[in-house]
Amino acid sequence: MPQVSILMSVYNGMPYLPAAVDSILYQTFQDFTLLIINDGSTDGSAAYLNHLTDPRVEVVHRPHRGLGAALNVGLAMCETEFLARMDADDVALPDRIATQLNFLSQHPEVGTVGSQIAYLGPSGRAGFSPRLPYDHETIYADLLHVRHALCHATIACRTALLKQIGGYRISGCGEDWDMMLRIGEISRLANVDRVLYLYRLHPNSANATKFAEIQVGCAFASHNAKCRAKNCPETTLADFVAARPPQSFWRHMADWLDRYAFTQYRRALLEVLSARELRGYVRLGWAALCSPPRTWQRICRLAPRIHKRGTPRASVPA
């Protein structure tokens, strides 16, 4: 039996799906099963997957139910000691799986390990590497305060632990946040302090409405984690949303400005990674002015790594 299952959910993954699959098939570590759940794709993803002949690849086609439900289908099929995640539009660097499995073997107290990431533009140009914490205490505290600390698509974990917590519970935004918090309650979390994963940006990545949904889902996951810590009953998403106090005008405007700054930040990264650097850096500055508490912190983390030796810049299949 292979040592690790690499679990990928696909929903309309073209044209980036082949690059994602190839980045796994050409890993330096080869003892794996690539389990791909086609979650009701309506583009050419199903046809592409049906033509894969590598014996390490297993494809399951199912109606569209969402990411968490698709991953639970895959989790139920996993019998390997380790499980790694992979998104259908990203790229894993060649030694990603080997590095993470070696880390888990050397740190038996760690149940889940992610990695640093770099952003990948539409043309295949990579750069920018936001610094993620690598120790459990900081990662868990950041997750609890709804701060980005562990990239779900980069994780490798012990399969038994993920099954022990019941896999993914929340349907929709926040499902990954909830899972990572629950894993962090029974084992330690970590990040390898190396970029092992290229996270692809799309033009529709800069979507303020989606960002607002993600914020609510992650806040809900955090709320239930705090309830569990106090031995209090968890709440439903509907009750959580209903119980939130009405926003004042100024709070509403601050949240709107934060979402606007988020869209500007993502568009700036896309422009820089699409060779429109001057426009992109100007937009980064504008995003910082629009939401200093969030965006300026991002820029401060990124600035020392931009165009520096050691920042990943690679040409990969688009």
CATH number, position 193: 3.90.550.10
Residue type, position 54, single letter: D
Query: Rounded to whole angstroms, how far apart are CA atoms 77 and 17?
Result: 22
172-176, 182-186, 200-204: segment of lowest average pLDDT: 200-204
Verify cis geometry, omega within 30 degrees of 0, for the bond prior to 245: no
Top mean-pLDDT range of 167-176, 225-234, 285-294: 225-234
Residue 72: give the domain boundaries: 4-203
pLDDT digits (tens, 9 = 90+) for 19-39: 999 999 999 999 999 999 999
DSSP, collapsed to helix, strand or coil, labels residue 259 as helix
Q: Are 312 and 195 in contact (CB under 8 A)?
A: yes
Name the band, by pLDDT with cuts 50, 70 and 90, for residue 314: very low
Query: Rounded to whole angstroms, how far apart are CA atoms 263 and 64?
Result: 27
Instruction: Give 198's strand partners.
Output: 91, 118
> Does residue 187 form part of some domain?
yes
How many separate domains does the chain show?
1
Prediction pTM value: 0.88
Give me the pLDDT at residue 247, please.
Answer: 77
> Does residue 38 form part of some domain?
yes
> Does residue 73 form part of some domain?
yes
Average pLDDT rounded to a whole number, residues 40-65: 96
Give me the pLDDT at residue 313, please.
Answer: 38
Query: Rounded to whole angstroms, how far apart are CA atoms 134 and 149?
Result: 8
Look at residue 203 and tell me whether its pLDDT is greater than 60: yes
> Does residue 101 form part of some domain?
yes
Residue 214, CA distances (Å) to 139, 140, 174, 208 in order: 18, 18, 6, 10
> Does residue 43 form part of some domain?
yes
Query: Rounded to whole angstroms, how far apart are CA atoms 130 and 300?
Result: 9
Torsion on CA atoms 234, 238, 243, 247, rounded to nearest 10: 130
Give me the pLDDT at residue 85, please.
Answer: 98
The position carrying tokens 């926040």 is 174
> Does residue 144 form part of some domain?
yes
As a whole-number percent, the residues of the chain with pLDDT over 70 amount to 90
Query: Rounded to whole angstroms, how far apart are CA atoms 112 and 224?
Result: 20
> Does residue 56 form part of some domain?
yes
